[in-house]
Amino acid sequence: MAQPKPPVAGEELTPEQRKFLEQKRAQQATAGEYRSDQGAYLKSGRQQKQERKEEVKAAREAARVPPQPMTRREFLNYAWGAATAVLLVEAGIASFMFALPRFKEGEFGGLFPLGPITGMPSADAPPVRNLDGQFWLSMDTDGLRALYRVCTHLGCLYEWKDQTFRFECPCHGSKFHKNGVYIEGPAPRSLDQFVILLRKNGEVVAQTTEGGQAVSSSDPDVEVVVDTGKKLNGPSV
């Protein structure tokens, strides 16, 4: 079928020419819509959905703020915090373990049966050191004491000196009488003591009081027991 010739300017259109022009405009408008969709009419719905997901993902990646490098101050804060936490945990565990009644007889922190009181050192004899119990068994005219071996200054192990008949700390020179009373030096108090129990037939008949006074008995059947789980601080100087 031959297409009608395009009209000349000023010439009246025939009905066929008008119909031709309307169809042509409709085709041009449809073609413009296809071009504006960038060829989307050629793709399936699944492909279009996948493209939209990728566009959303790309937009999120572009909007994401990259992590900032850690500063020196932040690193030091984290390091100090971690070290403090470790120290607190260790201190808590140590306190908890010390409080547990887990010690057996003859172990430090438990009971030390030493036998009848008649077998204890005399008042004019040097103190006797007990390595397992970490104490000095000292007898004087007042009675019997179990002195903790650790100096009350900075925790050194003091020694008994026969030449001067007293306890002396080799670290900083603190000195104490045979009964543990402070003489001189940087120690802030007299020596600490463990509680001594005097038992007869399994029953406690006397024991060291909170003031740290010595215990004594004239009964030869009394047994001496040192409780290294109960420490009494010496009086301040």
Q: What is the pLDDT of residues 179-224, one digit of tens each?
A: 999 999 999 999 999 999 999 998 999 999 888 899 998 899 999 9
**What domains are defined for the chain?**
111-232 (2.102.10.10)
Quick check: pTM over 0.85? Answer: no
* Strand runs labelled E in the chain: 111-116, 128-130, 135-140, 143-148, 159-161, 166-168, 175-176, 182-184, 193-200, 203-207, 223-232
